[in-house]
Amino acid sequence: MVSIILSFNFYELRERIKKEIVKRIAANLDITMYPLDSAWLLYALSLDGEENNPFFEQYMNLLERWVLLEETGRKNRDMAPLSICGFLSTKSNVREIAIKKVNRIVNNAFLKVIIRFNVLNDPEQVFCASLLLKNEEDIKKKIVDTIKKGIKGRISRKALFIAALIEFGENPEYFIKELNSPQDVEDIISMLWLHERYRDIINGDLLKIWKSFDSIHPNIELENTEEGLAISNKDLALLYEAILREVTESNPEMLFDLYPIHPEIKKITSEYFKHKKYATAVFEATKKLNEFIQNKTGIRNKNESELIQATMKQIGNPKKLIILFNDFLSEDSGKNEQKGIALITEGIFSAFRNPKGHKPEDHPLVDITPYEALAQLIIIDYIWKRIESAKINIRGGKDA
């Protein structure tokens, strides 16, 4: 997606981050010394799919070996990498041991007063644990209660706690409302990741958040420099997940905002589209197109088919054409284009408008997805702009 509103290219940024992830994990990273850093990088690599991903498989084997070590799990900070490894691993013994060790850490934490340095007060540790323990009914309720008591502080902290609640099947709506404006790079990345990962649950203005990221992304260091340190492995993984989500399954509302649909069409369809009334958005756009053609040509009191016939289909006698899409109507190529655009316009009214005008919104014939609606609006936009730039021969209508 190359945006006219955002200054960066999603695909190029995805490739830059992917290269940095591979570079970091291949740079002699000692998994036994830095298991959490390794786990986050492997989490990021897994987002491209675990099959046919030899680099992921190679380093995942090393992390799995670490999980099986006797001394692993004795430190509270082992909870997050244990959880990520157990979540990603396809080996039942690794997953079972990871669950056992994480459960032990969590239960030991419950025996202590929840203070600042308790592992359950660390959102990074808790979110990772939620990935592994989401189906552990005996313990997840206690973790959820602890999370709800501890959600406070900066956005980067709250975002991970909210994500953990979602993983545990909770409704985090109240806590999402408490999110304030992001203040720094870590906050913005966390906010972006939260809304992208859980976009089906969290309703938010993704374009606004991406604009916040756009304002700071030139200053983000992917590599350590003399001027400063690069972003953490955790933030690199979260950012990669957010970008990958947009590249592989772009948010339809964001696409709607980014695509340069004609202002007249966007104005009449925006509220319907944003409120998921996709059929209505397209229906209103077709009505607006009909009105536009009438106002442009002065031809009224005709149905859509008659309107197209009267204004742009009389190719056999170009002098009778009112809307001329090119200056080469004496040539076959020019005639073919004129005929093709006229047929597309006629098709818009037949295929897009008429069914939506006669069937309820939940009828299978008009119950369209946001991507289908956007595609239809783009076709309408194309025809609108071609008519807007066409030559208008009002005399042709009189001669007709």
What is the per-residue pLDDT across 359-390, written as a single tens digit (0 to 9) for each?
A: 666 666 678 999 999 999 999 999 999 999 99
pLDDT at 360: 64
Measured CA to CA in angstroms, residue 92 lies from 70, 99, 225 at distances of: 17, 11, 42
The average pLDDT across 29-58 equals 89
Convert the pLDDT of each residue in 292-324 to its tens digit: 999 999 998 899 999 999 999 988 888 889 999
pLDDT at 117: 77
Please calculate the CA angle 63-69-75 and round it to the nearest 5 degrees.
90
Q: Does 74 have pLDDT greater than 90?
A: yes
**Domain edges within the chain:** 10-251, 263-399
Name the token pair of 276: 């998921």
Q: Does 355 have pLDDT greater than 90?
A: no
pLDDT at 296: 94
pLDDT at 183: 78
pLDDT at 20: 93
* Banded model confidence at residue 13, pLDDT cuts 50, 70, 90: very high
The average pLDDT across 41-59 equals 88
Percentage of the chain surpassing pLDDT 90?
67
Mean pLDDT value across the chain: 89
pLDDT at 394: 80
For residue 32, count other CB atoms closer than 10 A to its CB.
13
**10-251 fold:** Glycosyltransferase (1.50.10)
CA end-to-end distance (rounded Å), the chain: 45
pLDDT at 2: 39
pLDDT at 382: 98
Q: Does 329 have pLDDT greater than 50?
A: yes
* Banded model confidence at residue 25, pLDDT cuts 50, 70, 90: confident
